[in-house]
Amino acid sequence: MKVQKINESPITQDDINLYKNAISKLEGIVFNASDVNIDKRIITIRLGNIEDELTLVNPKVTKYSETPLVYFEKDTNKSNKVRKTIRAPYLLIDTDNLGKVEFKAEKNDWKNSDEFFGDVGLLECVLVQRAIDAINDIDITHHVNIQKLLQKIKSLVEMKELCYKDLLVKWNL
């Protein structure tokens, strides 16, 4: 899956048809329009047959669980590399084609790794987050620059746009 910033724009049914035809020739389970050289915010999850795939147009996360979890994802750039990621087990996504779409893990307490990685709802959550990250130019290999993040938080606190006390409460500090 290509990682490239794509700005929101109007998308026609012809755009969707062109995209779906192009990705039908691809192998895999998660795609975005950049994969077939289309500059549109369209993503698809295919967990089975092409007929069962889910395509989201101009997806925007409107709500997510406040309790993230650690997930292990394969690095598409290195075939044997697995990376730890932080993912939300619940998402509400607003789309131009389907309205609001909810993704959620089937459980919130797994007995073992087989149950955890066998949770299809959780897998869908992870895949849709990864696809949206890709069209926002975010890859699992990108490292967070902690110093820049802390400087941004500090400047927001100083500008009174962010309450330090609220941060401490939210992050249980």
Domains of the chain by residue range? 13-135, 145-173
103 forms bridges with which residues in the sheet? 91
Question: Would you give the distance in Å from CA 122 to the centre of its chain?
Answer: 12
pLDDT tens for the 173 residues of the chain, in order: 788 888 999 999 999 999 999 999 998 899 999 999 999 999 999 988 777 899 999 999 999 888 888 888 876 666 677 888 888 999 999 999 999 999 999 998 999 989 999 999 999 999 999 999 889 888 766 555 556 656 666 666 665 555 555 655 555 54
* Residue 52 φ/ψ, nearest 5 degrees: -95, 0
Contact 58, 41 (CB under 8 A): yes
Q: State the CATH class of domain 13-135.
A: alpha beta
Pairing of strands 69-74, 82-87: antiparallel
Stated pTM of the model: 0.78
Q: From CA 132, how far away is CA 2, in angstroms rounded?
A: 11
